[in-house]
Amino acid sequence: MPLFPLFFFEKVTPTPLKKVTLLHHTELAKFLGLGSLTPHELQSWLNGESRIPGDQRISTRYAGHQFGVWAGQLGDGRAISLGELITHKMGRQEIQVKGLGMTPFSRRGDGKAVLRSSLREYLCAEAMDALGIPTTRSLALMMGEGAVEREEIEFEATTTRVFPTQIRFGHFEMAFHFGKKSELQALVEYTRSQFFDGASIEEMLHAVMDKTARMIALWQSVGFCHGVMNTDNLSILGLTLDYGPFGFMEDFNPHHICNHSDREGRYAYSEQPRVGMWNLERLFVCFSDLVTRERLIALLETYPARFQTHLLGAYRKKLGLQEERPEDLGLIESLLEMLAESKFDYTFFFRSLSRYQAGRLESLAGFRDHYPESLESSSFLARWLTRYQERLILEGSVDSKRSAQMLGVNPKFVLRNPLAQEIIASTSAGKTEALSAWYQVLRSPFQEHPEVETWAGPLPPNLKNRILSCSS
């Protein structure tokens, strides 16, 4: 069966990487039933050099709003789907390689990807999955000897992604805004029947809204900034999709912008929830011939509450709170204000708080080593801890139990940009040890890994808070 209704894809011919090397592949090879292929066979299939029975080679047609502006047709300019696999462990999964050359949707691009951006996407998707955040997964990272021109000349590379479907908000926008009514209908039917258990259109839209709200709430809870939340980068399944200039928050700043092309901060950390709703509105517009305007508006208006429920749930877990109480919203808001004032390293703060023993500031001695004045009695943190402690007492929280639970939700390691850069540097130099080692760490981010303690943060000032360009 084709991966999409007809209008939405074109058959393509991949351009294999030259003298390709398989730098790394994940355990998904096994789960996807590709375990019987040798690494060389896997490499040659993913590089477009060989075929396996039933595979397909297609790129899809989508449109989108980029930075708030209608951008017209975009499409998979450098991504080629090799088809789908039906598996015992993971159900239906599509395999898509990014960087195998030009497609009918490449516009002015070269269809290539460089190692830097491929490795970032490859590792971050796997890291996000390990953090429990819905995302596309990664199968393989490959590098070739061909040169790719960006700000500098770089080596060509590909990352292979895996997902039940890549359908984006932009696929619906493509049909709707180009007046393709029957094609839109076909896409809606296909999406509903294949990926939403045959739900009605309204039920499906409700689910998309809820999944989007949940995904963004979880991003906020780990300090993740996506950087390019254009409608063509939003998955209908609420999966984190298209990792570009993303960043994990280091020193907490709600207005942090991770993408330096985003001059106005449209996609700043604090804007992400609102952008989620704006994007949903762009999606819902495409359903205006299928659902009444009143129903669409009513549905959209439930987004803020859904988002807040997911966000509260995520922060309650981060704070080790078992019960839901009305004062929790205030406690969490004051926590975020305190963090913004204090500019603590976001990940390190929550990891440290996971060892807090109520009323005993000495349990935060490791935190004080990095932030010497943070616990003085007049500090924002000390004042917030008093409030937290009162809340803990209300539910009779037991330190040891809470701590164990919090250490399982507050990661010690996230893919900080400077860390990604280190891994990229050594991998470009032909050494894959760091890549393999960090893959393991990022797949178990709640474990201690004392051998790489320094990367748990906070990082020294010369490394912190780097932002990245879009050039990928």
* Contacting positions for ligand AMP (CB under 6 A): 74-78, 106, 109-112, 228, 233, 242, 244
Shortest Å, Cβ 410 to Mg ion: 30
Cα torsion 18, 21, 24, 28: sign: positive
Looking at beta carbons, which pairs linking 402-405 to residues 24 or more positions away fall under 8 Å? 402/320, 403/320, 403/354, 403/355, 403/356, 403/357, 405/317, 405/320
C-beta closer to ligand AMP: residue 41 or 110: 110
Q: What are the start-end ranges of the E strands in 99-194?
A: 113-114, 137-149, 153-163
The tokens for 458 are 């906070």
What is the number of other CB atoms lying within 10 angstroms of the CB of residue 179?
8
Residue 251: active-site member: no
- 3-class SS at 96? strand
C-beta closer to Mg ion: residue 44 or 230: 230
Shortest Å, Cβ 467 to ligand AMP: 16
C-beta closer to ligand AMP: residue 150 or 443: 150
C-beta closer to ligand AMP: residue 374 or 472: 472
C-beta closer to ligand AMP: residue 15 or 397: 15
From ligand AMP, Mg ion, none, which one binds at residue 106 (CB under 5 to 8 Å depending on kind)?
ligand AMP
From ligand AMP, Mg ion, none, which one binds at residue 14 (CB under 5 to 8 Å depending on kind)?
none
> x/- binding map, residues 176-215, to Mg ion, per CB under 5 A?
----------------------------------------
C-beta closer to ligand AMP: residue 154 or 345: 154
Residue whose pair of structure tokens reads 């890994």 in the numeric block: 449
> What phi, psi does 138 have (nearest 5°)?
-120, 140
Q: Which of 233, 259, 410, 432 binds Mg ion (CB under 5 A)?
A: 233
Tell me which amino acid residue 220 is.
Answer: Q
Shortest Å, Cβ 157 to ligand AMP: 12
From ligand AMP, Mg ion, none, which one binds at residue 202 (CB under 5 to 8 Å depending on kind)?
none
Contact 250, 416 (CB under 8 A): yes
C-beta closer to ligand AMP: residue 101 or 273: 101
What is the number of other CB atoms lying within 10 angstroms of the CB of residue 123?
25
- Is the backbone of residue 240 left (phi > 0), alpha (psi -120 to 50) or beta? beta
Contact 262, 98 (CB under 8 A): no
Shortest Å, Cβ 231 to Mg ion: 10
- Is the backbone of residue 258 left (phi > 0), alpha (psi -120 to 50) or beta? alpha
Shortest Å, Cβ 117 to ligand AMP: 8
Out of 232, 242, 262, 345, pick the active-site residue. 232
Tell me which amino acid residue 278 is.
Answer: W
C-beta closer to ligand AMP: residue 15 or 221: 15
The tokens for 255 are 């207005």
Residues 6+ apart with CB under 8 A from 455: 413, 416, 419
From Mg ion, ligand AMP, none, which one binds at residue 94 (CB under 5 to 8 Å depending on kind)?
none
Q: How far is CA 308 from CA 129, 234, 312, in A?
A: 22, 20, 6
Q: How far is CA 436 from CA 122, 256, 380, 443, 454, in A?
A: 12, 30, 40, 11, 18
Shortest Å, Cβ 14 to ligand AMP: 13
Contact 217, 307 (CB under 8 A): yes
Torsion (CA) 312, 314, 319, 321 in degrees, nearest 10 = 70
Shortest Å, Cβ 204 to Mg ion: 23
From ligand AMP, Mg ion, none, which one binds at residue 24 (CB under 5 to 8 Å depending on kind)?
none
C-beta closer to Mg ion: residue 237 or 314: 237
The region of 98-106, 230-238, 342-350, 423-431 touching Mg ion under the rule CB under 5 A is 230-238
> x/- binding map, residues 236-255, to Mg ion, per CB under 5 A?
------x-------------
* CA terminus-to-terminus distance, the chain: 32
Contact 370, 348 (CB under 8 A): yes
Shortest Å, Cβ 112 to ligand AMP: 5
Shortest Å, Cβ 183 to Mg ion: 21
The residues of the shown chain that bind Mg ion, judged by CB under 5 A, are 233, 242
Q: Please list the active-site residues.
A: 232
